[in-house]
Amino acid sequence: MVFKDISFIIEIAKRVILDKAYLDKLFFHYYKNFVNKEFVKFSISVLFRDIYFAEDIIKRYLKDYKKLPIEISLILYLGSILIKRSKYPYYVILNELVEFTKRKYSIKYSKLVNAVLRRILNDGNYEFNFSLLPQKSFYYKKLYEFYQDEQYFSIVKQIIFVDSEKYRKGGFFVDFLKYNSLDYLEASKYSDTYFYIKNVNDFPKEFLEKFVFQDIGNHLLMKYFSYFYKNKNSLTLEIASYPGGKSFYLFSNTIHNDFRLWKVNKLKQRLKDNNRLYICSDGRALPFKNESFDYVFLDTPCTGSGVVKTKVDIIYHLNRNDYIKLRKMQKKMLKEAWRVLKKGGFLFYSTCSIFKDENERRIEDFLRKNNRGYLVTNENFNREFIYKDKYFFTIKKFEEMDGIFGAVLLKT
């Protein structure tokens, strides 16, 4: 533990809480200044994952904790979590945080930090109170609502609530300059390990700029979709294309659409394919005639609840108003995607969410109001990723990859 790193952790956390800043942007902004990058990454991750637990623990020992400066509160939260989660000896955590508080703030607050953290240590095996989470966080409220009575809740709970140090390190690396369109996807069907490595750190650094990292869940989703996506001469529309992780899998005869011009330009730079077309338009009001496309891919904007292991501030940021806005947007975008799809065409719907309202309930609601379409399933696919016999979903493998959902609709 280094004082400089602790200072960055507190500063980043403070900006996320007070300014509603996004954690990943702050992390990359300060990244080159970190001394122990793994320690900072882990500490920030567990701080936001367990912040409501920490608050509950601190208030047991400090009744007026809400009157403290936010920096001191964050030091106490961090200390209580690291004592429970970290591989560092508890006395190292205690001494470093107390000394840091003394140098950065005051002797008065350093004594307070010392007294509270020592009381936590003396109490021994304190346990986190899971029952309070739905009251504290809208994210946890929805999670409990959707999964508490299902077998999958034990998986989600283990990954998000308990095993904070266990997050996916593997991925799918693709040389997009060498393999165009579905060439590498076809190759991977014969060998699932062809592009897959278990640990990002094992990959030679000199090759990182030439390769694009893809979470294995996204790759499996596109393999699932490829069973229906076969005609290279067809016309494809991709809605909400940015950042392009799925765009690479599509045939060159594709129009990529996104709402922000800078996203469209960035996507064009990444794909490096002059045969593709790029447009900037609102996915809720597309500039195309009815039934224009053979295939439509809609990677709809969502809460991102399935990528919470790597973007833990979602737990803190997500609120009811944003959730309602996203659901309304998804409904309009799905309706518009269906409008521009030809009869006999396939619509590929996907999210990086584990919330049912954004996934199967969204599809079920849509199909109730549209009798010209029905769900189709890739029955030859690995059954571990088939959810309710209808959908693609990585929930059973959430400890190894992001939470990715997919559905395929055929228009009749």
Residue 190 has pLDDT above 70, yes or no: no
Residues 145 and 214 in one domain: no
Whole-number pLDDT of residue 346: 97
Instruction: Please report which confidence band the pLDDT of residue 61 belongs to, taking 50, 70 and 90 as the band edges.
Output: confident
Identify the band that residue 52 occupies on the pLDDT scale cut at 50, 70 and 90: confident
- Strand (E) or helix (H) holding 302: none
Q: Find the mean pLDDT for residues 68-83.
A: 92
Average pLDDT value for the chain: 83
| Residues 259, 391 within the same domain | yes
As a whole number of angstroms, the distance between CA 183 and CA 180 comes to 6
Q: The CATH number of the domain where 50 resides is what?
A: 1.10.940.10
pLDDT at 180: 38
Residue 177 has pLDDT above 50, yes or no: no
Q: What is the pLDDT of residue 201?
A: 52
Closest CA to 116 of 73, 84, 71: 73
pLDDT at 169 over 60: no
User: Do 242 and 362 belong together in one domain?
Assistant: yes
Residue-range definition of the domain harbouring residue 183: 171-411
Q: Report residue 161's pLDDT band, with 50, 70 and 90 as the boundaries.
A: low
Domain tally for the chain?
3
Please count the other Cβ atoms lying within 10 Å of the Cβ belonging to residue 102: 16
**Higher-pLDDT residue of 159, 241:** 241
Domain final residue, candidates 75, 103, 128: 128
How do residues 273-313 score in pLDDT, each as one tens digit?
778 899 999 999 999 999 999 999 999 999 999 988 878 88
Q: Which of 191-200, 207-216, 285-294, 383-392 comes out lowest in average pLDDT? A: 191-200
- As a three-state string, the secondary structure of 377-397 is CCCCCCHHHEECCCEEECHHH
The answer to whether residues 37 and 112 belong to one domain is yes
Q: Is the pLDDT reported for residue 103 higher than 50?
A: yes
Higher pLDDT, 287 or 266: 287
Q: Are residues 265 and 157 in the same domain?
A: no
Q: Which of 108-117, 175-184, 210-219 has the lowest mean pLDDT?
A: 175-184
Mean pLDDT, residues 182-186: 41
Assign 390 a pLDDT band (cuts: 50, 70, 90): very high
Are the C-beta atoms of 1 and 291 separated by less than 8 Å?
no
pLDDT > 80? residue 154: no
Select the more confidently predicted residue: 2 or 170. Answer: 2
Comparing 81 with 335, the larger pLDDT belongs to 335
Q: What would you measure as the largest C-alpha separation in the chain, in angstroms?
A: 73
Same domain, residue pair 374 and 398:
yes
Kindly state the percentage of the chain with pLDDT values over 70. Answer: 84
User: Are 238 and 384 found together in one domain?
Assistant: yes
Beta pairing, strands 391-393 & 341-351: unpaired
Looking at the fold, whether 289 and 396 belong to one and the same domain comes out as yes
379 and 322 inside one domain: yes
101 has a pLDDT exceeding 50: yes
Please tell me whether residues 251 and 394 are part of one structural domain. Answer: yes
Please indicate, yes or no, whether residues 263 and 315 belong to a single structural domain of this protein.
yes
The CATH number covering residue 345 comes to 3.40.50.150
Residues 244 and 388 in one domain: yes
Q: Are 340 and 288 a contacting pair, CB within 8 Å?
A: yes
